[in-house]
Amino acid sequence: MALESENFEDIRSSVRALCADFPGEYWRKLDADKAYPTEFVKTMTESGFLGALIPEEYDGSGLGLSAATAILEEIHKSGCNAAACHAQMYTMGTVLRHGSDAQKSGYLPKIASGELRLQAFGVTEPSSGTDATRIKTTAVKDGDEYVVNGQKVWTSRIEHSDLMLLLARTSPREENEKRHQGMSVFLFDIRGAIDNGLTIRPIATMINHATTEVFFDDLRIPANSLIGEEGSGFKYILDGMNAERILISSECIGDARWFVEKASSYARDRSVFGRPIGQNQGVQFPIAKAYAATEAADLMVKKAALMFDAGEPCGAEANMAKMLAADASWQAADMCLQTHGGFGFAEEYDVERKFRETRLYQIAPISTNLILSYIAEHVLGLPRSY
């Protein structure tokens, strides 16, 4: 495939202009207060950028994934963090692809306008970890309701969401021929559910991520919360993963570019031993290496996004993009901290904050090992390792 990716310069400059109102001080204050970036998310919602992937017939912008990657990359390149709102952009994909007409027309226009926030996505559980086929949360049909019991962990942004997309077991693992069968996806309104079967407990973390653990105790949700067919939910979640991985890769690329720019600028200005530190090859080579790694990873992100937009299978490319971009951002983060010497540890430079934030991508939404396992098994034909 030719890599004739559009650069979306109009989108990029609009996003940059919006982000200019949210400088380092804004994020530092939120970090210190462990507060959610409400104003930033409001601005992004009102700009319509979070509805980029929703088709025009549902009042979204009807853009492709390549355009959406430009939005997220630019947010991160500006020093901001899209983690507080990126789920609003792509969690709706499960509804769009597998929801009924009533669910699509009922939810999507409101998600596009921001009237409904779909920011919460509950898959991970404490005891099953990456092996999502072993989740224990159950949803049992009872008349025109499902009764949900169990626990999720790392459910981010749920305190700032109106809706939740939930993966739960509707029949036991042992009763299904294949381990991924018997799980279902639900989309439900959490506003009436809190303290009515749904309990949320924030988790203190090394980054300001509004993440929580969630407990379901006989939570009753309407039967029409079910998306698609009962028992096919795991497949629906997998269907959304390529898009998520490609979008997150673009955040990594944005972070990497921010680190490279920040380090280059500091290395030009900071003078020690009577000359700019950037004149030393020991300082400039790691910056140049991080730059080259970022550009290479970006090619894979662009390729994956183009393939996704063309409707081609892109599991391998989406996974490689996520791994290469996360590695590039982490390499750039480490380089940037080193370039700043002791000042890299001072909060006012924002380097330590971005350093902490970008470390997450080695683990979430999928850890590097699992990507390597995917490539080994599905691309190289090696035996499955787990």
Least distance (Å) between residue 83 CB and ligand FAD: 8
From 13-21, 27-35, 118-126, 306-314, give the range in contact with ligand FAD by CB under 6 A. 118-126
End-to-end CA distance of the chain: 33
Among 16, 35, 129, 142, which residue sits at the site for ligand FAD (rule: CB under 6 A)?
129
CB 209 within 8 A of CB 156: yes
Q: Residue 80 or 118: which CB sits closer to ligand FAD?
A: 118
Beta strands in the chain (DSSP E): 118-122, 138-142, 145-156, 163-169, 183-189, 198-202, 211-222, 226-227, 271-272, 275-276
Q: Residue 181 or 373: which CB sits closer to ligand FAD?
A: 373
Q: Residue 159 or 309: which CB sits closer to ligand FAD?
A: 159
What binding mask, one character per residue, do residues 17-46 give for ligand FAD by CB under 6 A, x or -? ------------------------------
By CB under 6 A, residue 121 contacts ligand FAD:
yes
Spatial distance between the Cα atoms of 267 and 300, rounded to a whole number of angstroms: 29
What 3-state class would DSSP assign to 119?
Answer: strand
CB atoms within 10 A of CB 122: 26
Q: Residue 267 or 323: which CB sits closer to ligand FAD?
A: 323
What binding mask, one character per residue, do residues 352-371 give for ligand FAD by CB under 6 A, x or -? --------x--xxxxx-xx-
Amino acid at site 298: D
CB 86 within 8 A of CB 72: yes
From 62-70, 120-128, 260-268, 312-320, give the range in contact with ligand FAD by CB under 6 A. 120-128
- Of residues 153 through 192, those in contact with ligand FAD by CB under 6 A are 154-156
Spatial distance between the Cα atoms of 317 and 305, rounded to a whole number of angstroms: 9
Q: Residue 167 or 297: which CB sits closer to ligand FAD?
A: 167
By CB under 6 A, residue 211 contacts ligand FAD:
yes
By CB under 6 A, residue 151 contacts ligand FAD:
no
- Sign of torsion, CA 79 82 305 64? negative
What is the pairing mode between strands 145-156 and 226-227?
A: unpaired
> Which residue's Cβ lies closest to ligand FAD?
129
Q: Report how many residues bind ligand FAD under the rule CB under 6 A.
A: 23
Residues 6+ apart with CB under 8 A from 318: 241, 242, 243, 245, 246, 249, 304, 308
Least distance (Å) between residue 211 CB and ligand FAD: 5
Site of interaction with ligand FAD (CB under 6 A):
121-124, 129-130, 154-156, 205, 209, 211, 360, 363-367, 369-370, 373, 385-386
